[in-house]
Structure 1
Amino acid sequence: MNREIQLIKRPESTPNHDHLKILNTDTPQPEEEEVLLKTLYVSVDPYMRGRMNDVKSYVEPFKLHEPISGGVVAQVSDSKSSDFEKGDIVTGNLQWKEYVVSKANSLRKVDPTLGPVTTSLGVLGMPGLTAYFGLTDIGQPKQGETLVVSGAAGAVGSAVVQIGKIYGCRVVGIAGTEEKTRYLSEELDVDVTINYKQQNVKNALEEACPQGVDIYFDNVGGDIADTVYPLLNKFARIVQCGAISSYNIPNDQGPRLQMHLIKSSALIKGFTIGDYQDRFKEGFDHLSTWLKEGKLTYKETFQEGFENIPDAFFGLFTGENLGKQLVKVANPE
């Protein structure tokens, strides 16, 4: 038997077990130019929350009563393609199934010499590329500038703060626990950390940024973003990567930011990693080089068991993960 996880109800606020269902299904068989894959690791990511809504967006919504899909590392169990052999480790955007069939041309082999295979879902995958292109292309970091990063201990944020240091920025990282702020300061060399659950963010930011803010890499939106805008320097850049604080709040409203942008001549630009698809090799080359040189490191948080994928996903919205949140489903054969 095979298992899969389907979206059975669209959440109006915070998703829970009423919205997902684990079902037993038959194990599929590959056809020409397809491979049968055994799922090893599943990535859960905040953007998946948006795909649970039946609204127009940059990617189509998940369909009801069909498996959810996302980043997966898997092992080839059977191949009908000359591009892959049994035992190959691959990654791709795959359905949440223990065994899944995929077109061969939608998969990429994982190079185990670059690091553990899970890095293809984290620092050498979508989160790392998001951090790289968001900061370097939109943020345009320069030596001595002040970079503020919200969600700084997450998969994207932890890469952003390190890339900021590589470019010579003074980095201020905002996170939600003492463990996370300690990780940022002690392991990632972040200059100033702010625990938004224990400190007055407005006062802490004013103290941390006496010369103002040149780059704001926004992963969370909401109240934290509202406190950053008044501190923007002339020609500041705001990298709008995420808004997780609002994902489960319908019609979330906040202060008006237009006057702050006018007074600072600031740039704010939203993006998704798909915008940079034709430049992935550039980003991957930089990230893998920095990883080899020890300039870039990473943390991973694991849950184990296919049945625990929903709980790992729900935990993203309460800040339970440090670094990249993954679920280990099986060992490779």
Structure 2
Amino acid sequence: MTTLSVSGKLKAAVLGAAGYSGAELAVMLSRHPHFELSYAFASAGRAAEPFSKLYPRHQAVVDIQVEPWTDDRAETLDADVAFLALPHEVSEAVTPLLLAKGIAVFDLSGAFRLKDPALYPKYYGYEHLHTDLLEQAVYSLVEWLDKPLPQLVSVPGCYPTACSLALLPVLKAGLVADGCIPVINATSGVSGAGRKAALNTSFCEVGLNAYGFFKHRHRPEIEQNLGRKVVFTPHLGNFKRGILATSVVTLKAGVTAEQVKAAFDSAYAGKPLVRLVSHSPNVADVAGTPFCDIHWQQDAEQLVIVSAIDNLLKGAAAQALQAANLKFGFAETAGLFAGVPNE
């Protein structure tokens, strides 16, 4: 049961508001027509401080106090919805506390994305302790949702969002050759590594390099979405925000360009945040926006699909809020253009 704030809006909490994705959520929620940013939390070891001290560009715009989170806060939290931009293990531990209070949870971590708990030790480095919640959670790749959203929503990862939106139309239309293993090369800006300082993700140290060969935690998530194995190679690029993914598949013999176009047009008709563009996408065109831009080129049975998103928005915060809009019956894009990039 929801309790509206004095403004008539639903009360929202952001856990992990000091990080990049959490900060984007805080900004969008503070200007949302139907949600009110009632709480902002950071890790327990931090001192309380104004959001605008963490992100000075938002001074006099978002001045909510960012408080240290401790689990006992769940008992007194007067919120309708909580957005978790937390480490995976922390999200898994906090989620049951919030659900017990009747709070809807939108989790931006990987804690509830994979349906097979046996994959967590290999790809996330820990044993999943709440397999019952894995079954309850609904994965919210919004453009491909086929069920109502429950109290626990798992928000897709950034790489899987870019890759899945690109490949699902032709896979669902049955245009890809049987046995074809999609080959995906995707490059992310350094903000994808989070705000915590580290030498290998320092902007001055980053050039362009591949990493996570065969073992990146987003690989099983992409395979779960597509229903087939993939070769996925992520790269780190010397730019702040955005993901560019290039996906290559072999089509069935005789598939025409008209059939490919029809598959994309049908999949994304009426989907306001997917733009089918006539040129190869550029991360500069999507940075600071909630859009996914998609373009494809075909040569006989070879199909190359290029997709671009902002990793912090369509790949995280904006997709979480897009899903929350749908769950609570608001316009899908409500509040999604209210954020300002943390550049």
Superposition TM-score tier, normalisation by shorter sequence: 0.3 to 0.5
Larger relative strand fraction: 1
TM-score by length of 1: 0.32
